[in-house]
Structure 1
Amino acid sequence: MEPVLVVFVVALALGFDYTNGFHDAANAIATSVSTRALTPRAALIMAAVMNFLGALLGTEVAETIATQIVDLQHASSHSALVVILCALVGAITWNMITWWYGLPSSSTHALIGGLVGAGLAGGFGVYGSSLVDKVVLPMIFSPLIGFGLAFFVMVGLLWLIRNRPPARTNRRFRFAQTVSAAAMALGHGLQDAQKTMGVIYLALLTAGWANPEEGIPLWVKLAAAAAISLGTYAGGWRIMRTLGRKIIELDPARGFVAESVSAVVLYVNAFALHAPVSTTHTITSAIMGVGATKRLSAVRWGVAKNIAGAWVLTIPAAALVAAVVFWVLHPILG
């Protein structure tokens, strides 16, 4: 039974990774597509390739997910695998709900919420201090930093190009957006694919199929990278419309700044802080930041309010779904 459960958990984790790809594809390419810097198909191909490469750049975020969210050290391998399975069901369910309504919620926080909810439902502990340092504080500060940094960088850029010919300047920024979109997609792979690696690694450690001294197996890295890339290529048009058009009408300069600032925030959190931050929160807040440089009323705050509501609900909603699934499945699976 246990080997079958491990295989099912790994398959479900890769399924989550796939939904993460099409759910969050908009993070990397919505601004470039909306400003016509890239065609939708070219943008998706680029994002898929960069997601794959980004997934192979490190494992720090994956190890945070595997070892610093829910405490399964004293759980039986069977119970721990059921917790992980239910966490994935909670995360996938919330991803699909928000995708259906076109809301750019966080796959990162859906997964973390699922782990916390299923773990608590099973009577296991969570690493409270780690959750605060690695999840709660980055969840609060990353969007604020993204908004503020994007706003001030955009103000400075507008001052620098104030006397430049608009048509030529827009053409140059459309070209620059191909670079900034690629950087954003690389950061998305670096952050989000690693979360799936972390869940698979946690399942393998629980079943004794991995050696903690050897780190994450290569096949896990390649499988997670491939799954998120395939999901990204499948697209996420509903959320792309929200990010690219409904928050604010973007021009190439603002798109370039939003993507560049978001990429920097993702890299700093991955390499320096090892924190699993939300690419969705980061790019959305950066888009709001560059939009506010036009005038505050240029940002459609009603749409922003709906997005913020989804942000707040993500962790508790995914946790609740995962907990209910655990209460249903645990007796069945013994």
Structure 2
Amino acid sequence: MSLLLTIIVLALLFDFINGFHDAANSIATIVSTKVLTPFQAVIWAAFFNFVAFFIAKYIIGDFGIANTVAKTVFPEFITLPVILSGIIAAIIWNLLTWWLGIPSSSSHTLIGGFAGAAIMAGGFSSIHSAIILMIAAFILLAPLIGMSVAFVLTLLTLQICKKMNPHKANNWFKHLQLVSSALFSIGHGLNDSQKVMGIIGAAVITAGASGIFDSMPASLEWMGLERIDNLNHMPAWIPVSCFTVIGLGTMSGGWKIVKTMGTRITKVTPLEGVVAETAGALTLYLTEYLKVPVSTTHTIAGAIIGVGATKRLSAVRWGITRQLILAWILTIPVSAALGAAIYSILSSHIPS
């Protein structure tokens, strides 16, 4: 039981780190264009992170991304030490990239750590390669979709607004950034909270199958821990806690990455901020429909690049962009190696 509780606590810690690591995704442009102060912006984004729970629960009606994440490793190879190793690896990589100010993907970090630990435990046959390859493909597809949508939206918006008074148009787009930032924050909540839900759900299913709940102390019954057979029957505390904690993480900020996303890729105006956030949100809603866990970081970065490219290709700081792409590509293999290394250490001390 203590191992399961440790996994739940660390998974929620990862969720919190994910929130402040990815806070820049939904607030970078709104801060860089001075529509909101940093403090106002994180409160705004955190609120809509939590609104995403009600949309997933009562409008969409399921948590499809959580199911996809849980299925990256075949059930017979999922053990609590494998899950614990994957989470620890993901936390290490997320904290390192946050410290360096690199907007890497929390999604791919978690999936890479989980898969790497499983491979160390049961070989390559333990992972669902088709799902992992699909997720890996969106390392490139998500930013490309965001970039393409942003490029087209920017050209359309400029065409529609070409006869407007520039000062008046600028004020309009400053107000519209509140809407576009909210839309992107909802997409962030929908996508990223479900990844942790999938991991916690997999841990609870595994614990139940091993009979842990049969001997659970009465003092822990208040936590709502119970045996479940699949994620469609997960207790309410799992999604509620995941959506709440990521909102709290967002409120804590992530200012180094805000600087990279909001100013170092390309200089962003209110109009361009609206377009980038809207394009990013549309991309996230598409991947939510497809039930593919993607990186909100990759998505908004691609959208910002698409906006910058409409001015001229030289408006995008391609040196920074190359660094971002390199970090994205390295995330899954580095996280997998970390997960494998941590499992090799833990497995000799913790029974499966």
What band does the TM-score fall into relative to the shorter chain? over 0.9
- Structure 2's unaligned 5+ residue stretches are 57-62, 209-225
State the Cα deviation string for residues 278-312 of structure 1 (Å, max 9, x = none): 10000000000001111111111111111111101
Following superposition of structure 1 onto structure 2, how do residues 222-233 of structure 1 map, counting pairs within 5 Å?
222-233=240-251
- Tell me how far 1:38 sits from its aligned partner: 1.6
Q: Which residue does the alignment assign to 1:160? A: 160
Question: What corresponds to 2:127 in structure 1?
Answer: 126
For 1:74 and 1:117, how far apart are their aligned partners in 2? 12
Distance in 1, matches of 2:326 and 2:100, equals 13
* Residue 247 of structure 1: aligned partner: 265
Match of 1:275 in 2: 292
| Match of residue 98 from structure 1 | 97
CA distance in 1, matches of 2:136, 2:18: 20
The more displaced of 162-171 and 279-288 is: 162-171
Maintained 8 Å contact 2:116/2:340: yes
Show the counterpart of 2:283. Answer: 265
The amino acid of 1:222's aligned partner reads: V
Partner of 1:191: 191
Match of 1:49 among 34, 41, 47: 47
Give the C-alpha shift of residue 41 in structure 1: 1.2
Provide closer, same or farther for how the CA distance between residues 26 and 84 of structure 1 changes in structure 2, counting only shifts above 3 A: same
1:232 and 1:184 map into 2 onto residues whose CA distance is 13
| Matching residue's letter, 2:205 | L
Cα offset, 1:21, TM superposition: 0.3
Confirm whether residue 324 of structure 1 aligns to residue 327 of structure 2: no
Measure, in 1, the Cα distance between the counterparts of 2:14 and 2:196: 8
Asked whether 1:73 is paired with 2:66, we answer: no
Q: How has the CA–CA distance of structure 1 residues 56 and 324 changed in structure 2, closer, same or farther, with 3 Å as cutoff?
A: farther
Worse-matched range after superposition: 9-18 or 55-64: 55-64
Q: Secondary structure at the match of 2:152?
A: helix
User: Which amino acid counterpart does residue 251 of structure 2 have in structure 1?
Assistant: Y
Residues 1:293 and 1:319: Cα distance change in structure 2 (over 3 Å): same
The yes-or-no answer on 1:289 pairing with 2:288 is no
- Aligned 8 A contact 1:56 1:222 in 2: no
**Matched-pair contact (CA < 8 Å) for 2:139–2:329:** no
Q: Can you give the 5+ residue segments of structure 1 that lack an aligned partner in the other structure?
A: none
Q: With structure 1 as the length reference, what TM-score do the two structures score?
A: 0.95
In the TM superposition, what is the alpha-carbon distance from 1:157 to its structure 2 partner?
A: 1.1
1:60-98: CA deviation from partner (whole Å, max 9, x where unpaired): 1111111x20113255xxxx0000000001111110111
Q: Provide the aligned C-alpha RMSD in A.
A: 1.2
How many corresponding residue pairs? 325
Check conservation: 2:35, 2:174, Cα contact below 8 A: yes
**1:220 is aligned with what amino acid?**
I
* Conservation of the 8 A alpha-carbon contact between 1:108 and 1:277: yes
Give the C-alpha shift of residue 56 in structure 1. 4.1
The separation in 1 between residues aligned to 2:152 and 2:44, in whole angstroms, is 28
Q: CA deviation at 1:163?
A: 2.0
Q: Percent identity at matched positions?
A: 43
- Aligned equivalent of 1:62: 66
2:313 pairs with 1:309: no
How far is the alpha carbon of 1:171 from its aligned partner?
0.5
- Tell me: CA distance 1:333–1:255, structure 2 relative to 1, closer, same or farther (3 Å): same
Distance 1:307 1:217 in 2: 38
Q: Is the 8 A contact 1:146 1:285 kept in 2?
A: yes
Mapped to 2, the partners of 1:262 and 1:129 lie a distance apart of 25
Say whether residues 1:300 and 2:299 are aligned partners. Answer: no
The 4+ residue runs of structure 1 with deviation greater than 4 A are: none
